[in-house]
Structure formats: C-alpha cells, structure tokens
A and B are shown apart, each in its own frame.
Chain A
C-alpha cells in the first residue's frame, strides 16, 4: 500500500517545461496570492470603516452594518461568492446597458477580489470593532482634549492603540483568506486549487498534484504565521505579556 503511494508520486510531471505542469501550478499560486492580498486589503478597508461606523456612526448606519455583518457571517462563503459573482457582474452590465454601453466581460481576478473582500470585510469589521472597544477610553478622551479631529484621532491614537488587540484576529483571517481563495475554483477561476485539478485530470497523477498543492498551501501558511508572529511581537512591545 505504502509502496504504491510513494510509487504514484512521480515528480517529472511537475517540470516547468510544457509536458510538465509546474508552470501552471505556479501561475495558479500567483493568482491565489494576488487574490488573497487584494481581498484582504479591501476587507481591511471595509472592516476599518465598518468598525468606525458601528461604533461612532448614527443608529441607522450601525444597524445597517449589523445587518451586513450578521448576514455575511450566517451564509456559507460559497453561496455568497456565487450570489455576489452573478449579481455583481449582472448588475454592472445592467447599469452599463442603461447608459447605452455594450456589456463588458468582467475580469475574474477583479470579481474574485471584490467578492472575497466583501466577505472578509464582515469578519474584520467585528475584529476591529472589538479591538477599538479594548482601547482605554481615557486615551481617546485625552486625544480629543488636545483638540484632535476625528481623522487625526483615529490615525494617531485609536489605530495604533487597537492594533495589538486586533493582530491575533487579523492574522487568523489572513490565513483564512489564503485558504478561501480555493473557493473561487468553484466559480471556475484558475487559482492554485483549480489548476491542480486540471493538472491532475490531465495527467491522471491525482495524488502527486494534490499532495504538492497541499504542500504549497502549507508553506504559504507557515511563512504567514512566522510573519504574523513577528508583527505581533513588534506591535505588542511595551505591553504586558498576556497571561
């Protein structure tokens, strides 16, 4: 059993030149990383504004944001991706049509980034909201007493003070963002998982390709974890160690 398991792993199919599928996998990896980074950045922006809206916005704004975070977190990512993917492209084309423009083919990369960003934004809103609430109110009041405006207060006091509280959660969601890129395989976007599937089906070396792809994802997550640790150490300096 074990012998065939090892025997079924044939590394020559991973060559970078055309008969091998190495380049296809690397392209898939590049797409996955671009999507993860793009989605995470847009998610962070949404999360930052969402958290501020929830905490400091009016009643209507915070209620609407509550609906957004609750709904997005209650429905599977896969379903949201399908809904936003079709609704987004369809809606955009209808707007274009109403201006008398021909429908455009929406870039899969951009759509993937937007969809995952909206999903991540809901989770990051909650993380950042919790972190801002953990900032001692006196620090914020002191900033206000010095005459800081809302933007200055956010950039100079709230943001740096909430960062150590938010980093563990933010790190977890970066890891889950890299994993969630795989979901775009279901809507037919060739990121790492789908290119792996194509390679496996093309060569019938299923085990080799899925194991290699698993290793690549694992490497990404290990490297990310080390980076997150370093960031946490840097931004927790001067704080008491957690018990």
Chain B
C-alpha cells in the first residue's frame, strides 16, 4: 500500500519476456521447489505404498460423489429455477422456500440431521426394516448423497433462476414466432442460453461442491478424506497425510477449473 503506481498488467505488457520468466517468479518457483524437496526428504512418506489402493479408491469415491450429486442436483436446480421464473406462484414460493432453508443452514447440520435424525426415525419402523430398501438405507452414503444433492440443487436453483430470467425476451419471442412449441423453445433456446450465462458461476460452485464432499466422512463414508483420517490415526503422523490431501484437492480443483474453461471456450460468441 506504499505507492499507487502503474498496475501489474501494464508492467507485464511493457515486459516482452513471458510472465513466468520474470526474475522474481523464477526465484519464487525455486523457493517452492526447495520447499517441496525439503518436504520430500525430511517428512515421512513411507506409508503411501501401503495405503495406495485405499487412497485411489477414496479419490474415486470422492469424484463419483461429486459428479453424481452435481449431475442430479443440476437437474433439480433447473426445475427449481423454472418454478421460480415461470411456475405458478405457489410452486415458485415453495422452490424459494426450499432454496432459502438449504442455503441458510450449514451442510454439516443437514447431513447429521439426515443421517442421525431421519436415519434413527426410519430404524423405528419394522416395515422399513424388513423392506428391500433397508440394506441401502442402513448404509451411510445414501444420506451423504441426498444431502450433497439437495445442497447443490438449492445453490444452483438460485443461479438458474437468475440465468433463466436473464435470457433476453426477444430471443424467446423470435423462437415462438418461428412456430416452435413451448418444449422446443425451452430445449433449443431457453435452456442453452441460460446455461451459457450460468457457466462461470457453475464452475465456481462445482469447486465449492467438491470442497463440501469431505463432510460425508463425518458420517462414516470413506472418501479420500476418510482414508487420510484413517492413515493419521494409524501412523500418528500429523502433517504428511494432510499435505497429501491438500495436494489431491488442489489438483482436482485445477482439473475442474480447466474443464470449465474448455466448456466456456466452446460457447459461441459473436466476434
């Protein structure tokens, strides 16, 4: 805050070298490499081979949970958004109420409410206990799946509401003028245009959804966070497993961000 001078962007332009070749960045990168080297040499990593398969399975479970909950959540989000924009008043209010309640309470609490609260209620019914669904309801992951799906649906429902409302009326009217039916207008014009508008926000919220997945470990679902917790208890190591976990999540974030950038690049823009 000492000096209000030219912004960094202009400095980069003045400098013809690629930005990562600037001397201070090379030094920062070297310091970073040094830190990684020190961590590799002085910290204990001998537990990794032993837990490799579990770790990979955990990562797989995290990714599966992320992809399925956000896919199903997005479908509900489109319904929630539509209900608020064009649905009848009562349905719109209901959708708004749902979004408000989910967004106003912590996900951890919702998760525990479903798992401990609803789970214990269900167990009281002999009809449910003897039903074919019971082996499924006895496990933890359906509750985690439900909580994560509802959470994504509520947050994206709000985003989709704004996106649907933001599509210019003229485009919808033009489609109608071409004789498209309501469903066709929705499928060909309204949904894709709204989706394009929502894409940058979706990218951020997809990362947020990934960062919520470790909460399911608190209800005994063994995702990558759960595996790491197990490693920490078994090996009495404080930092090493957590560092590895942070790297895993950072890499996943990088992949998601790159993926959405690719998707955004495919949105046709008038040039």
Closest to B22 in A: A59
A76 touches B (CB below 8 Å): yes
B121 lies within 8 A of A207 (CB): yes
Q: How many angstroms from the CA of A88 to the CA of B8 in the assembled complex?
A: 33
A236 touches B (CB below 8 Å): no
Residues of A within 8 A of B (CB): 4-5, 8, 49, 52-53, 55-57, 59-60, 62-64, 67, 71, 73-80, 82-83, 86-87, 90, 140, 144, 150-151, 153-154, 175, 179-183, 185-186, 193, 196-197, 200-201, 204, 206-207, 210-211, 213-214, 217-218, 221-222
Contact pattern, B 84-126, Cβ under 8 Å of A = 1, otherwise 0: 0000000000000000110111111110110011101100100
Contact pattern, B 1-30, Cβ under 8 Å of A = 1, otherwise 0: 111110110010000000000101100100
B250 touches A (CB below 8 Å): yes
Interface with A: B37-45, B48-56, B209-217, which one? B209-217
| A contact residues around B249 at 8 Å (CB) | 74-76, 79
B8 lies within 8 A of A193 (CB): no
Closest to A172 in B: B103
Instruction: List B residues 194-246 near A (Cβ within 8 Å).
Output: 207, 210-215, 218, 225, 238-239, 242-243, 245-246
- The distance from the CB of A40 to the nearest CB of chain B, in whole angstroms, is 16
- Knowing A71-B250, A186-B218 touch, does A62 contact B8 (C-beta < 8 A)? yes
Contact with A213, one of B109, B118, B218 (Cβ below 8 angstroms): B109
Instruction: List B residues 59-79 near A (Cβ within 8 Å).
Output: none
- The distance from the CB of A145 to the nearest CB of chain B, in whole angstroms, is 12
A214 lies within 8 A of B5 (CB): no
Q: How many angstroms from the CA of A56 to the CA of B7 in the assembled complex?
A: 7
> How many chain B residues have a CB neighbour from A under 8 Å?
49
Closest to B210 in A: A76
Q: How many angstroms from the CA of A181 to the CA of B5 in the assembled complex?
A: 39
Residues of B within 8 A of A (CB): 1-5, 7-8, 11, 22, 24-25, 28, 100-101, 103-110, 112-113, 116-118, 120-121, 124, 207, 210-215, 218, 225, 238-239, 242-243, 245-246, 249-250, 253-254
| A contact residues around B103 at 8 Å (CB) | 175, 221
| B contact residues around A60 at 8 Å (CB) | 24, 28
B109 lies within 8 A of A75 (CB): no
- The distance from the CB of B120 to the nearest CB of chain A, in whole angstroms, is 5
- The distance from the CB of B216 to the nearest CB of chain A, in whole angstroms, is 11
Contact with A77, one of B112, B124, B211, B239 (Cβ below 8 angstroms): B211
| B contact residues around A78 at 8 Å (CB) | 211, 214-215, 225
- Knowing A77-B211, A210-B116 touch, does A179 contact B106 (C-beta < 8 A)? yes
A56 lies within 8 A of B211 (CB): no
- Knowing A56-B3, A56-B4, A222-B104 touch, does A79 contact B239 (C-beta < 8 A)? no
A217 lies within 8 A of B250 (CB): no
- Knowing A8-B121, A71-B250 touch, does A150 contact B2 (C-beta < 8 A)? yes
| B contact residues around A86 at 8 Å (CB) | 238-239, 242
| A contact residues around B253 at 8 Å (CB) | 73-75
- The distance from the CB of B138 to the nearest CB of chain A, in whole angstroms, is 16
B239 lies within 8 A of A56 (CB): no
- Knowing A56-B3, A59-B24, A210-B117 touch, does A79 contact B242 (C-beta < 8 A)? yes
Q: How many angstroms from the CA of A213 to the CA of B101 in the assembled complex?
A: 12
| A contact residues around B11 at 8 Å (CB) | 59
A193 lies within 8 A of B24 (CB): no
| A contact residues around B116 at 8 Å (CB) | 197, 200-201, 206, 210
- The distance from the CB of A6 to the nearest CB of chain B, in whole angstroms, is 11
- Knowing A60-B24, A79-B245, A87-B239 touch, does A154 contact B1 (C-beta < 8 A)? yes
A4 lies within 8 A of B121 (CB): yes
- Knowing A4-B121, A182-B108, A182-B109 touch, does A83 contact B242 (C-beta < 8 A)? yes
B1 lies within 8 A of A214 (CB): no
A217 lies within 8 A of B104 (CB): yes
